[in-house]
Amino acid sequence: MTTDNRQLTMRRGAEASRRFSFRLRCSACATEYDPDQLINLCRNCNAPLLVEYDLSPAPELREKIRSRPPTMWRYAEVLPADEGITLGEGITPLLRSTQFENVWIKDESKNPTRSFKSRGMAAAVTMAARNGAKSLAAPTAGNAGAALSAYGARAGLPVFVAMPRDTPKSIVDECRSYGAQVEMVAGLITDAGKRVQQYIASTGGFDLSTLKEPYRVEGKKIMGYELLEDLGRLPDVILYPTGGGTGLIGMWKAFDEMQRLGWIDKRRPRMWSVQSSGCAPIVRAFDSGLESAPEWEAAQTSAWGLRVPRAVGDRLMLRALRESRGGAIAVEESQIEPAAAELRTREGIDAGPEAGAALLALRRLIEKGAISSAETVVLFNTGGNKYHS
């Protein structure tokens, strides 16, 4: 099937069965935009755009969703399209910890490209293809580039990925194996982002950087919907390894949507952002009472998903942490990989270093009394152990 035919099929499917209409709204100035276009940040204030649905109570929808195939696209009514560019992402296991009482591990390594990035890229590439993108580009420190490369290949669209020169070879090879054009850049992911902007300016490609388009959030928010189905209620605490923060922002958005659907009440989990001591801009901003997070200088961490010195969604993350009565915590960089190894050897989970950071945060918060043994806690393993030189 040609790309044009794929776009037509996706558009017809979405228009035929999507239950709730939606628009794009700026997260800062509330300017509204028609979703039937390729668009990145708000054209008025340069803030991220979010999808806003015209939701109404629909308790019967939960049972309908359960009867559908086990991918994130079973939640079509609260996604911007029916199943489009898919590799079978979503509906990952929620596993009870063997070491801690009332602790569960959401294992995102079971996604097609072994990380939660599959969810976001499935939604983003679907909508980019639907709205006429001819090529796709993004900076990456690891898993996002791999997912974009895979989903771009699935969509039949060329992909350009820029990444820091010290990115593990396993990630570079994975992107290239899917046919992506990979360029290595001196510096950090912020420098890779500048190279992506140059590429887009010269080629007309579409930017799928974190929160610079509206739909990666939509794919990742389904993790929040899945927690409700997994547990029968929402957990008391969520520990989320945080780089760009799209998943944290997405789940917070999902909880609001679920309340409007009549599935939950106003109670929310306490959201905790977990970062490394080598790159902790959200922790520093949270502790300082700031509404945005200044760039972290000389960021260094072996947890590649956490090596984001400046996040576009910083304001949205900080707002969610405070509204949830949660917080932000930095863990010691030197302890991250041993903690991830512990998850692999004691839990049997394909745990990446980001999950190791979350495990360290769990222990510290229990020791401090910020989490009690009676509370239900979900710790996210955002991706597998993929970083190899």
Confidence of residue 15 (pLDDT cuts 50, 70, 90): very low
Residue 18 is predicted with a pLDDT of 55
Q: What angle do CA 162, 152, 123 make, to 5 degrees?
A: 105
Tens digit of each residue's pLDDT (9 = 90 or more) over 312-346: 999 999 999 999 999 999 999 999 999 999 999 99
Angstrom CA distances, 221 to 117, 252, 265, stand at 11, 8, 18
Tens digit of each residue's pLDDT (9 = 90 or more) over 117-176: 999 999 999 999 999 999 999 999 889 999 999 999 999 999 999 999 999 999 999 999
Residue 339 is predicted with a pLDDT of 98
Residue 17 is predicted with a pLDDT of 52
- Is residue 358 within 8 A of residue 305, CB to CB? The reply is no
Q: What angle do CA 356, 357, 362 make, to 5 degrees?
A: 95
Residue 217 is predicted with a pLDDT of 98
- Is residue 306 within 8 A of residue 276, CB to CB? The reply is yes
**What crossing angle do the helices spanning 117-130 and 216-231 adopt, rounded to 10°?**
130
> How many residues are there in the chain?
389
Residue 84 is predicted with a pLDDT of 86
Tens digit of each residue's pLDDT (9 = 90 or more) over 64-119: 999 999 999 999 999 999 878 999 999 999 999 999 999 999 999 999 999 999 99
pTM for this one? 0.94
Q: How far apart are CA 158 and CA 36, in angstroms?
A: 21
Q: How far apart are CA 162 and CA 39, in angstroms?
A: 21
Domains of the chain: 94-115+216-381 (3.40.50.1100), 117-207 (3.40.50.1100)
CB atoms within 10 A of CB 230: 18
- The answer to whether the Cα torsion of 119, 122, 127, 133 is positive or negative is positive
